[in-house]
Structure 1
Amino acid sequence: MNRIEKSKEKCKHLFGGREPAAYTTDPDFHDILRRFIFGEVFYQGNLDDKQRELITVVVLTTNQTLQQLKAHVAAGLNVGLTPVEIKEAVYQCAPYIGFPKTLNAINEVNEVFKAMNITLPVECQKTVDEENRFDKGLSVQVGIFGDIIAKMQESAPFNQKHMQEYLSAFCFGDFYTREGLDLKTRELLTLCIISTLGGCESQVKSHVVGNKNVGNDKETLITAITHCLPYMGFPRTLNALACINEIIPEN
């Protein structure tokens, strides 16, 4: 199949073959969009459609492109994602984009779920409590990044140690310990989220290391960042690829 045929087949699989309303006013633009995203990018690399839709959901959440988010929540369900997986992907954004933007996205997800008669709330995925969220979060954090975590906590100035504690208890304890998505998926989504933000190259490099440590190889990282390209543009995509290449050089 050529890319036109591929895009038609992929759009039918994801969206049921419906034309966007704006196609009637801007058909040329939508042909460019559809053939590039769904005829080329969706076929590049080693990720399946469920992984791609999770990535799309977190990038659209990060960008706050909420109308498109609703379309891709429905697409995610169409390709076999569960409501829990979609909710957990959106929740995973909170430590990086903040609560208000995450809540905006949650509201859009809930509208789609209600329209599709999906019961809310979805099943609880929490595995920590107030007594162990720090310890369990720190354990996950060390498992991803290694001994550098202890050094970061020890070297933090006294008036900034709370920030390291928040990272362990909140970012990793409250979110990374949740069920619904495995660790490799969470770490891959985090890389996509912070790459989308822009200006976070230091954190992108850290999470390239983290992804490598949890078993996501370079091909997977390149595929994931390539999948982000239509939604975050070339500058941020190329910056993220440069970080990947710096941490995992070509042989």
Structure 2
Amino acid sequence: MVTREFSKMYNEIMFPGDESKLLENDPEFSELFYNFVFDEVIKQNDLEDRKRIMAILATLIGCEGIDEFKVMLPVALKLGVTPVEVKEIVYQSVAYLGIGRIRPFLKVTNDILEKQGVKLPLDNQSTTNKENRLEKGIQAQVDIFGEGMKEFYKSGPEESRHINYWLAENCFGDYYTRTGLNHKEREMITFCFLSAQGGCEIQLISHVLANIRLGNDKEFLIKIISQCLPFIGYPRSLNALRCVNNAVENMKEK
């Protein structure tokens, strides 16, 4: 197999001078993989590089792909994703994957940023405090999902109602209200977190609807799935596609 020119060009942009052990020890696999990822997949649609790489970072976090994340984070910075945006992707992932899975990503992110001369800690991005985080979290839910979320924090059986309260106060009040990423970008990365980890189809359908409501339409979400497929494989990608199609069909029926 001969590596195609576009694949070579894109690989050089992404990884200039990279002579990894993978290329040395698995040249046949490397040709197969890089021809697919950096030629067929890249050419498949016109997704902007910056959005593509943000989605890939979120997807790698979602599938706990820490080694590939180490490779792709410097690429993201090269393609214009800012340190603040990177940190916001990692921070928000805690609400969807938990600190038990995210602490290694925090460490790797800090190590890479410091190696690139970024002074840590970064400027604060929080816009809430203890007194208003619930109120602002509810407003974020309403802005993203619609008026039906106004009273959601009080819903559910008494013994588990606190979790819906925390969802408004912590997930949305602490994270979605931060600067650095807008709601549209935050919903895109949430879509990636959920589709990459699998087993979250109920939540994924809800966030498909939220994405569409914010302007990340069906075509855009399919572009995201397509660009992230090499990093999570076909089963989870097809599950995500099914969730997108189901959500759109449900919208048509209403």
Whether the TM-score (by the shorter chain) exceeds 0.5 is: yes
Kept after mapping to 1: 8 A contact 2:205/2:247: yes
The equivalent of 1:23 in structure 2 is 23
CA distance in 1, matches of 2:46, 2:183: 18
Contact 2:59-2:196 at 8 Å conserved across structures? yes
Partner of 2:200: 200
Tell me if structure 2 keeps the 8 A contact 1:11–1:17: no
Please give the alpha-carbon distance, in whole angstroms, between the structure 2 residues aligned to 1:230 and 1:61.
14
Does the CA contact (< 8 Å) of 1:13 and 1:79 recur in 2? no
| Other-structure match for 1:126 | 126
Asked if 1:156 is matched to 2:156, the reply is: yes
CA distance in 2, matches of 1:210, 1:3: 40
Q: Is the CA contact 2:56–2:228 (under 8 Å) kept in the aligned structure 1?
A: yes
Provide the residue aligned with 2:61 in structure 1: 61
Q: Percent identity?
A: 38
Q: CA deviation at 1:20?
A: 2.1
Unaligned runs of 5+ in 1: none
TM-score, normalised by the number of residues in structure 1: 0.94
Tell me the CA shift for residue 151 of structure 1.
5.7
Whole-Å Cα distance in 1 between the matches of residues 148 and 59 of structure 2? Answer: 28
Specify the alignment match of 2:88 in structure 1.
88
Shift of 1:58: 1.3
Question: Residue type matched to 2:61 in 1?
Answer: T
Deviation at 1:106, TM superposition (A): 1.0
Indicate how the Cα distance of structure 1 residues 3 and 124 shifts in structure 2: closer, same or farther if over 3 A, else same.
Answer: farther
Asked whether the 8 Å contact 1:134–1:173 carries over to 2, the reply is: yes
Question: For residues 171-227 of structure 1, what are the alpha-carbon distances to aligned partners after superposition, in whole Å with 9 as ceiling and x for unaligned?
Answer: 111111111111111101101110111111111100010001111111111011112
Instruction: Look up the equivalent residue of 1:88 and give its one-letter code.
Output: E
TM-score, normalising length: structure 2: 0.93
Equivalent residue of 2:233, what SS? helix
Aligned-partner Cα distance in 2 for 1:151–1:140: 13
Query: 2:195 touches 2:204 (CA, 8 Å); kept in 1?
Result: yes
| 2:130 partner SS | coil
Corresponding letter in the other structure for 2:65: T
Structure 2 CA distance for aligned equivalents of residues 88 and 10 of structure 1: 27
Report the 3-state secondary structure (helix = DSSP H, G, I; strand = E; otherwise coil) of the residue aligned with 1:84.
helix
Q: Where do 1:133-172 residues align within 5 Å?
A: 133-150=133-150, 152-172=152-172
Number of aligned residue pairs: 250
Q: In 2, are the aligned partners of 1:46 and 1:220 still within 8 Å (CA)?
A: no
Over the aligned positions, Cα root-mean-square deviation in angstroms equals: 1.9
Cα 1:54–1:110 change in 2 (3 A) is: same
Q: Show CA shifts across 1:154-178 (max 9, x none).
A: 5401111100111001111111111
Give the SS at the match of 1:216: coil
CA-CA distance at 1:103 after TM superposition: 1.6
Give a deviation string over 1:75-96, Cα, whole Å, max 9, x none: 0111111111111111121111
Distance of 1:167 and 1:74 partners within structure 2:
32
Partner of 1:49: 49
Once the two structures are superposed, residues 123-171 of structure 1 have per-residue CA deviations (whole angstroms, 9 ceiling, x without a partner) of 2111111111111011001111113324644540111110011100111
Pick closer, same or farther for the CA change 1:227–1:170 going to 2, 3 Å. Answer: same
**1:101 Cα deviation from its structure 2 partner:** 1.8
Give the Cα–Cα distance (whole angstroms) in 2 for the partners of residues 43 and 179 of structure 1. Answer: 32
Greater alpha carbon shift after TM alignment, 164-173 vs 63-72: 63-72
SS in 2 for 1:158: coil
Q: CA deviation at 1:17?
A: 4.1
Contact 1:13 1:78 (C-alpha < 8 Å) held by counterparts:
no
Mapped partners of 2:200, 2:134: distance in 1: 25
The answer (yes or no) to whether the contact 2:96–2:194 under 8 Å persists in 1 is: yes
The 8 Å contact of residues 55 and 192 in structure 2, kept in 1 or not, is answered as yes
Amino acid at match of 1:214: L
**Moved >3 Å (runs of 4+):** 150-155
CA distance in 2, matches of 1:3, 1:89: 33
Asked whether the 8 Å contact 2:144–2:214 carries over to 1, the reply is yes
